[in-house]
A and B are shown apart, each in its own frame.
Chain A
Amino acid sequence: MFSDYAALIVLLPVIAFVLTLFLGKKLTSGGAYLPIAAIAGSFIISLGIFLEIYPEGIVQQSIPWFSSGTSTMNMGILIDPLAIVMLLMVSFVSLLIHIYAVGYMSHDPAKPRYFAETSLFTAAMLSVILSDNILQFFISWEVVGVCSFLLIGFWYHKPSAAAAAKKAFLVTRIGDVLFLAGIVMLYVNLVKIINDPANAFEIGSGNFILQFSTMFEAIPLIDPTQLTYITLLFFGGAVGKSGQFPLHGWLPDAMEGPTTVSALIHAATMVTAGVYLVARTFPMFVATPDTMSAGVPDALLIVAYVGGFTALFAATMGLVMNDIKRVLAYSTVSQLGYMMLALGTAGTVLGAGAVGISMFHLISHAFFKALLFLCAGSVIHAVGTNDIREMGGLFTKMKITGTTMFIAALSLAGIGIPYLGIGTAGFFSKDRIIEGAFEYGEKTGDLIPYAFAVIAALLTSIYIFRLWFMAFTGKPRSDRHSHESPNVMTVPLMILALFALFFGFSQLAFYGYVETNFELMGVEIAVHEGEAVHPPIIIVLLPVIVGVLGFLISYAIYYKRMLDMSKIISSENPLYKLLYNRYYEPKIGADLIGVKLTHDVVAQSGEFIDRKIIDGLVIDSIISNTVFKIGEIIRKMQTGVVQNYASITILGVALLLVLLKLKFGGI
């Protein structure tokens, strides 16, 4: 019964967007209750659909949209295990963050704009998730990008926020262009396959060309080289959206927006859309040739390496940041890297199982990272600064925030007890990814992704506990008056903390459910069967050992102060300088590509051509003079005397009549 109303999941927040935008000023709290009610509605419908279709139903609804040539595009809804877990997570986390935002944004005069934009964002994100075709997916994907742009630049009067919004938009655009190119290439291939009678490939009635089911059905017919390029282009889109190396730079800058925006968009939902894209089109990734045989690189290998490298690369920068939100931003980039790594490595050894592993980390990450951001928001709300060097000793004043943030940090660091099955959400999800990377290493002899994952896990634990110890323990390093946040903010924190603690226990049910996703869609994924790898004890224990080790290192340095950090943190230390300057990525991005290449080379040469060559041809030359002279003559027609115009009109009509008479005869 709920599945009949699946479209409302998207439509309710859209309606709330329109109403809040236009009526928000007249309502209490800037109309915040409209989006909250709408998203609660979306969550309830999603939950209802989940209960209806679990464990093996899917919902498919599709209507034709427009035709181009012989192919018809459609709009539709596809709710399969992959989509429903995302729907539940996005609507639930979005609901909590909206409630939290009532408190967090209470002093902001532009509340209606804020709530309208986040409501539109939620609608678009839900639409990305339940699209049943790649075109609708792309459109929603772009709307999500626009909302991200608007919300990063929410305080647009701050130049840094406006610049960050621009950067986010431009950098993700690179990915979007690649994604669009992938769609075009896929479409061309599909049309070619359909038009070739030798294939006997037909789209059944009720199915459409760019639907995921049609795409997957056609996989065996697509030329493997082309398929690899299509998947790599899709992955390019995912790299842009999910802030993977080398398009990661926008995500830390995006922290200029309100903290709730960072929690909603840049931690829990939008940035995971890239991972979701790869998971959604995973049969295509798996079907790509897995050696260098075809003269093309292995798509899954690239996914694994980009993900693994990003996980480590971002974690190193997280170590030295002093802005509480930037630490978390690099952590997000790093964790997204883990998800990509899972898809790449486990995809090679486990096939469809990788989707379950990656999605599980995606969802547990959404809970604990949203929680971390909301705790950071609570701290910022209380202290009024982002700089952890100015915090300290907050735990006595903010017990709830401190406790929940500690839980989230434990979850991020992946602390738990192996073999007993007790642990935080991050323990289960991250360990499974690291194990997957190990299995991959066992089978292919390539342990580099595994090494990336383990070192990144150590760094993750160090930077997150550094953050916690610096903010909540020790002596206050500034005389700011801080206090615990109101209930409307702390209650969402506690709910998320429960999930960050206990969500992990659903892991087996979750893997089993999401793994069947592509079977339910009738897609065969070649699973690389083989003997199950039983990793040695040290491999099972290692992620937890590095997690605890990271905790101890941070404890020793930032709580006990056993090591004087002032020698390491100095502009003399080249490593520190490199990390603190973010590997000079902003310099390369803005100064080299932006100023030197785009402005100095492209724009300047464009200006030269325009001013010197084109203007030289046109200004005061025979062309312009002739045009001027003709104009001088013709303008005399405009006498400004109404009677002249009327006479000419009447003469014209008379002339027309005469001509008609001559042509057709008659009376």
Chain B
Amino acid sequence: MGLYSYLLISIIIFTIGVYGIITQRSGIKILMCIELLLNSANLNLVAFSSYNDNATGQVFALFSIAIAAAEAAIGFAILVALFRLRDTINLDNINILRW
């Protein structure tokens, strides 16, 4: 499998993520889609790293995963708080900031 196969998978995951973010209404699903975006980027980093025979990209990916974990924790915490407040995590109902 060459570099292109990895990039192809990465693009597919990325596209799924974008599609999910645009179409989904549930906060949790959107959060999961954001994770997909991040992971497609990680996949790219690792793929290029292996291709260029340079370990920097892999280290970078590890950092990125750690940060993604923190970000997910915060995201879920926000959703839990939101659910307690509004009894829903359907983002269509969370729109007090519009005009």
Inter-chain contacts of B95 with A (CB < 8 A): 639-641
Q: Which one of B22, B96, B97 contacts A646 once the chains associate, using CB atoms below 8 Å?
A: B22
B98:A646 contact, CB within 8 angstroms: no
A641:B91 contact, CB within 8 angstroms: yes
Inter-chain contacts of B87 with A (CB < 8 A): none
**Residue count of chain B within 8 Å CB distance of chain A:** 15
Interchain nearest-CB distance for B48 vs A (Å) = 14
Please name the residue on chain A nearest to B97 by beta carbon: A640
B98:A640 contact, CB within 8 angstroms: yes
B22:A638 contact, CB within 8 angstroms: no
Inter-chain contacts of B5 with A (CB < 8 A): none
Interface hub of A635, A639, A640 (most chain B Cβ within 10 A): A640
CA distance A639 to B98 in the complex (A): 5
**Residue count of chain A within 8 Å CB distance of chain B:** 11
CA distance A467 to B99 in the complex (A): 73
Inter-chain contacts of B96 with A (CB < 8 A): 640
CA distance A2 to B25 in the complex (A): 74
Inter-chain contacts of A640 with B (CB < 8 A): 94-99
Flag whether B23 is at the interface (Cβ < 8 A).
yes
Flag whether A663 is at the interface (Cβ < 8 A).
no
Flag whether A647 is at the interface (Cβ < 8 A).
yes
Inter-chain contacts of B21 with A (CB < 8 A): 643, 646, 650
CA distance A646 to B30 in the complex (A): 10
Flag whether A636 is at the interface (Cβ < 8 A).
yes
A650:B99 contact, CB within 8 angstroms: no
Inter-chain contacts of A635 with B (CB < 8 A): 99
Flag whether B18 is at the interface (Cβ < 8 A).
yes
Flag whether B92 is at the interface (Cβ < 8 A).
yes
Known: A646-B21, A650-B18. A641 touches B92 (CB 8 A): yes
B91:A647 contact, CB within 8 angstroms: no
Interchain nearest-CB distance for A292 vs B (Å) = 73
Please name the residue on chain B nearest to A635 by beta carbon: B99
CA distance A31 to B18 in the complex (A): 62
Known: A647-B22, A650-B18. A642 touches B30 (CB 8 A): yes
Q: Which one of B23, B97, B98 contacts A643 once the chains associate, using CB atoms below 8 Å?
A: B23
CA distance A650 to B98 in the complex (A): 20
Inter-chain contacts of B30 with A (CB < 8 A): 642
CA distance A255 to B23 in the complex (A): 73
CA distance A647 to B33 in the complex (A): 14
Residue-wise interface mask of A (626-638) relative to B, using a CB-CB cutoff of 8 A (1 in contact, 0 not): 0000000001101
Residue-wise interface mask of A (596-637) relative to B, using a CB-CB cutoff of 8 A (1 in contact, 0 not): 000000000000000000000000000000000000000110
Q: Which one of B18, B91, B94, B97 contacts A638 once the chains associate, using CB atoms below 8 Å?
A: B97
Inter-chain contacts of A650 with B (CB < 8 A): 18, 21-22
Q: Tell me the A residues contacting B by CB distance below 8 Å.
A: 635-636, 638-643, 646-647, 650
Q: Tell me the B residues contacting A by CB distance below 8 Å.
A: 18, 21-25, 30, 91-92, 94-99
Closest 5 CB pairs of A and B: A640-B98, A640-B95, A635-B99, A642-B91, A646-B21
